[in-house]
Structure 1
Amino acid sequence: MIKKLPSGRWQVDVQPGGRGQKRIRKSFDAKPEAQRFERWVLSQHDSGTPVPHLKKDRRKLSELLQVWYLAHGKYLRDGERRYRHLKRMAEAFGNPTASKLTANDYLVYRALRVEEDIAPKTCNNELGYLNAVFNELHRTGEISYQNPFQSIRPIKIQEREMGYLDMGQIRAIFKELREKTTNPHALLVARISLETGARWSEAESLTLDRLKPYRVTYDQTKSGKKRSVPISKDLYKTIKKHLEEHGSFGTSTISAFRRAVDRSGIQLPQGQCAHILRHTFASHFMMSGGDILVLQRVLGHSTINMTMRYAHLSPDHLNSVSELNLFGNVC
C-alpha cells in the first residue's frame, strides 16, 4: 500500500508474503519513487531474494564506489582509471552519505569546476560516471533509491573546429620528428596514425601479432571492437622491422610529438594535438573523393553521425552546391 503522509511525503507500507511476514515501511519525496520501491520489494520477494538495506542506508559515497568497482567497474576497459577519478570526486564532495545526495549537490560541485576552468566536456564525463554508478547499483538491487543525478542535463557544448594539416604542415612536423626528436618511436607512431587514421593510443599500442601483409588490426580501440586497415608494403616492412627490433612503441610518444609540433611553429585548434593526424587522414580522404561509409569503417565510428563531420570536405558535396543552385538566373 502507498499513502500520502501529512508531511507531504509518500509512504510504502508493504508486507511481502502476507500476514505474519516481515513488514516494510519506507517514505519518499515523490509518489513515482514510492511506486518503484514497492514494485522492487515485491519482485525481490517473488524471486526469493532477501531485500537488502531496509534500514537507512548510511554508506558513504566512497563505500558505494568501491562496491560498484568490485562488482562492475573493474571489468570495464577504463574501469581502474574511472574509479580513481570517481574517488577524487567523492573527496571533493566531502564523502557524504550517498543516500542523502541530491541533484543540487552535483550542480554546486559542477559550478565550482567550471569556475576552475575545467572543460565542459570533462564536467559532462564526470556526470556520466556518476550516473553509471548509481544506475548500475540500482539495477542490481544494491541500493533501493533512485539515481539522485538522473534529471541533470549535461552542459551543451558547441561543436569544435575540426582542424587538419595541409601537405606543407605535415612535412614540417615530420621534419622535426626525423631530425630533432630523440624518442625512437614517435616518428613511426605518427606515420601510422597519419596513414591509417588511427587514434594515437591505437597506433602506439600496435604489436607484431596485429601486423599482417598488408594490414594492421587495432584491438585497443575506444569502442572495444577490433578493426583492420590496409597499409602500404613500405609501411608494413617499416613497422615489422621496428617491432622486431624494439618489441613495442612504449607509452610516451605523444609528448615527443607535441614537442615536434611546438618546434614547427604550427598552431593547432585547442585540445586536438593527439587527434590531428587522425583528422588529417579523414579530411584528405574525403577531399580526394573517398566514400563516407568506407571512412566510417576505417575510423571505427559506431555510428555514421561522427563520420559526417568530414562529409562537407567531399568534392562531390562541394560541387553539388553550385550545380544545384536554382537561383543564379534570378539574382
Structure 2
Amino acid sequence: MIRKLPSGRWQVDLRTDGRGSKRIRKSFDSKAEAKRFETFVMAKRAEGREWNPSKADNRTLKQLIKLWFNAKGVHLKDGERRKRCLDTMAEFLGNPIARTVKPTSFLAYRAHKIQKGASKKTLNNHLGYLNAVYNQLNRLNEIDFDNPIRNVEMIRLDERELSWLTVEQIRHLLKTIEDFSQNPHVHLLTRICLATGARWGEAENLQLRHVQEGKLTFVNTKSGKSRSVPVSKELFEEIRKHLKEHGCFSFSLSAFRRALDKSGITLPPGQAAHVLRHTFASHFLMNGGDIVTLQKILGHSHISMTLRYSHLAPEHLSKAATLGPRY
C-alpha cells in the first residue's frame, strides 16, 4: 500500500507474504519513487530474495562446531572424539568465519595430515565430519548459507585386502593361544569371533544376560543395532559357564595380538583380531552360505560391505547363469 503522510512524503507500507509476514515501510519524496520501490520489492520477492537481508553470519568455525555438537554430536557414540577432531581442524585453519572456509584450505589441511602419516580413510572421515557440521546446521535452519566445502571430493581408496585363515591356521592359532597365553579369556573370545563373525569388542562386551536360548546377542555394536547369532550347544554352554565363573570378559586384545605374533601367521597391516571376522565370513560362503544371511549375521548396514566376500562363493553366484528366466 502507498499513502501520503501528513508531512507530504509518500510511504510504502507492505507485507511481502500477506498478514503475519515481514513488514516493510519506507518513505519517499514523490509518489513515483514510492511506486518504483514497491515494484522493486515485489520483484525481488518473486525471485526469492529479501529486500532487507539479514546481517552476514560471522560466527567462527569453532562456534558452529559447538552448535553442531550440542544438537547432534552429543547423541553420537563417538561425538566427543569427533568434536576434538573438528576443533583440531578448525585450529589448523585458523578458526575462520565459518561461511568463508575455502575448499583449498581444507585441501591444505589434508595434504599436511597425509605428510604426517594419516591414512586416506581417516582423512575421508575428517571431510565427512566437517560436511556433517554444515549440512546438519543447514537442515536445522541454524545457518542460511551453503556448505562451502560441498564440492571437495573424497580420496579414492583401493579396496582393502581381506585376509582370512585356513582351517590349518585356525588350529595352529588356537594351539598357540592354549600353549602360551596366560589370559583366561582370549582362547574363548577367539572361538566366539570365529563362530559368529563378531568384532572383538562385541565379543568382549558379552554378559550372561546376552547368552540365552542358544544365541549370543551383541549390543553396543558399530551400527548401533543389536543382533543375535546362534552357536553350537557346546560353545553356548562353555560361554555361560565361563561367564558365571569369571563374571565377564576383560580386555584381552593385547593378549590375542601377542599370540598371533607368536604363531608366525602374517597378515596385512591393520588386520589382527579382525581377521577372525573375515575368516568366519569367508568360510560361511565357501561352505554354501548366502550373502543376504551373511549380511544379517555380520550386522552390515549395507549389502555392499558384505559383497566384498562374494568372490569366495563362485558356486553360489554362478546360479545367476542358470536360474534366471528362460526365453
Match of 1:70 in 2: 70
How many aligned residue pairs are there?
A: 286
Change (3 A) 1:291 1:321: closer
Q: Is this contact kept in 1: 2:288–2:316, CA < 8 A?
A: no
- Cα distance in 2, alignment partners of residues 318 and 116 from structure 1: 43
Unaligned runs of 5+ residues in structure 1 are: 1-13, 22-33, 43-50, 324-331
- Cα distance in 1, alignment partners of residues 285 and 221 from structure 2: 23
Residue aligned with 1:217, SS: strand
Residue aligned with 1:19, SS: strand
Residue aligned with 1:157, SS: coil
The residue identity in structure 2 corresponding to 1:58 is N
Residue aligned with 2:216, SS: strand
Residue aligned with 2:77, SS: coil
Match of 2:282 in 1: 283
The residue identity in structure 1 corresponding to 2:269 is Q
Q: Is this contact kept in 2: 1:194–1:280, CA < 8 A?
A: yes
Tell me how far 1:89 sits from its aligned partner.
2.3
25, 29, 49: which one pairs with 1:20? Answer: 25
Q: Is this contact kept in 2: 1:124–1:154, CA < 8 A?
A: yes
Unaligned runs of 5+ residues in structure 2 are: 1-15, 27-43, 323-327
- Cα distance in 2, alignment partners of residues 296 and 164 from structure 1: 17
- Cα distance in 2, alignment partners of residues 118 and 89 from structure 1: 13
Tell me how far 1:91 sits from its aligned partner.
2.8
Counterpart mapping for 1:206-225 below 5 A: 206-225=206-225
Tell me how far 1:175 sits from its aligned partner.
2.2
Match of 2:9 in 1: none
Tell me how far 1:301 sits from its aligned partner.
1.6
Tell me how far 1:318 sits from its aligned partner.
8.2
Change (3 A) 1:59 1:257: same
Match of 1:113 in 2: 113
The residue identity in structure 2 corresponding to 1:67 is L
Tell me how far 1:322 sits from its aligned partner.
12
Q: Is this contact kept in 1: 2:65–2:83, CA < 8 A?
A: yes
| 1:223-262 Cα deviation digits (max 9, x unpaired) | 2222111011121112112222333223x32222112111
Q: Aligned pair 1:196/2:196, yes or no?
A: yes
Q: Is this contact kept in 1: 2:65–2:87, CA < 8 A?
A: yes
Match of 2:271 in 1: 272
The residue identity in structure 2 corresponding to 1:216 is L
Q: Is this contact kept in 2: 1:288–1:315, CA < 8 A?
A: no
Match of 1:96 in 2: 96
Counterpart mapping for 1:145-160 below 5 A: 145-160=145-160
| 1:115-140 Cα deviation digits (max 9, x unpaired) | 22211111101111111111111111
The residue identity in structure 1 corresponding to 2:86 is L
The alignment yields a C-alpha RMSD, in angstroms, of: 2.9
Change (3 A) 1:67 1:319: closer
Q: Which has the larger radius of gyration?
A: 2
- Cα distance in 2, alignment partners of residues 321 and 140 from structure 1: 46
Match of 2:310 in 1: 311
